[in-house]
Homo-oligomer: A and B are copies of this chain.
Amino acid sequence: MSQHRLEKSLSRFEPFRSGAYRALQYFVLAAGLAAMTATTVPELPSALRTWLAVSLWCCLGFFAGELAIKCWLRSRSEPASDYLLSSSGAIDVLAVLPIPVALLIGVPGDSAWLLASLWLLKLTAFVPGLSLLGRVISLEARPLASVFVIFLIVLLLASVALYILERAGQPERFGSLPLSLWWAVTTLTTTGYGDSVPQTFMGRVIAGIVMICGLGVFGLWAGILATGFAAEHRRRDFIQNWDLVTRVPFLRNLDPPAIIELTHMLRRVDLAEETVVVRRGRPGDCMYFIVSGEVEVELDPRPIRLGPGSFFGEIALLEGGQRTATVVTTVPSTLLLLEVSDFREFTAHHPDVAKLVEAEATRRAVKNH
């Protein structure tokens, strides 16, 4: 790699995105949180306590080092403040600064180290689906808020009713509205601690209605989120697939409605090198388009290699049989997978594409002999 490309890749934190580094981060994170949890157990022998403190400082050091390197790399191309003010930068700073600051201003060690729970925020950077969830929740904000208002109304009315009905019999459980609200929230969420339980007949009837409302709130919540999730998921996949489809010449040159239909059907598959994609003799339930990388088809006279823009696995779909050859990736590759059900549906709507695929398959077979 040239000096220039190395720098560019460093300033984008590419080494920080590799699988090995990510595994290390997960390990440090898990170790740190486990150490923090263990520290709070009073029965711990003091020897172990020392070791836990050491490991906590090591984890903090690791995150501090990560922050420093990222700042330094980024500062070569843009002001470091840009990075520190971005959401991922803020998470990195929150993982490092609060603990020493707390210790400096005199917070006792036990309490200060509880701030290590902020390290958990680092997980949000690794979770690609989190933004999807956030979007669904923001799109469905109105009906979700409506369900929440219903929840609040039921909560308050139930607790006022129980306060009136039960305060005479159980003053220590329902003697004030806050106590009664506590009962209502544990009941409406169907948690049911059982620390406050209505004893009067009417109180129990109302409690029963509150529990059934709890089921209803669950159902509405799930229904709303399911609706939003289905729509958003489809949209997200489409955008991701579109970028990949436009990199495959064979797909890019189809007429627009065919591209749209296919984009909805394809699924991205990322494979490491030397991975077996299809195995000879197995039933063929999908075909593949190569977006990037390379695969080797282990054909009989001599193996052939297919690069970006090629496709394979179509013979088993066209003839409805088993795989005729094993295919292995030679380098890390990104493929687009088309299931047999979608292949049949697509070729039924676009018989010309089916002919193109068949022609290509024949051409390849002839060339190989």
* Interface residue ranges, A against B (CB under 8 Å): 33, 36-42, 111, 114, 117, 120-121, 123-124, 127-130, 132-133, 136, 142-147, 149-153, 156-157, 160, 163-164, 171, 175-178, 181-182, 185-187, 189-195, 197, 201, 204, 207-208, 211-212, 214-230, 233, 235, 238-239, 242, 246, 256-257, 259-260, 263, 285, 320, 339-342, 344-345, 347-349, 351
Contact = CB atoms under 8 A, between A and B. Distances in A.
Given A150-B133, A181-B37, A224 B220 contact: no
A193 B194 CA distance: 4
A260 B344 contact: yes
Given A120-B156, A130-B146, A132-B146, 11 more contacts: A38-B177, A111-B164, A120-B153, A127-B149, A128-B146, A218-B219, A220-B229, A223-B226, A238-B341, A256-B349, A257-B349
Nearest to A201: B178
Contacts of A146: 127-130, 132-133
B218 A259 contact: no
Contact of A176 (B41, B121, B177, B235): B41
Contacts of A345: 238, 260
Contact of A194 (B160, B178, B195, B215): B195
A348 B223 contact: no
Nearest to A341: B238
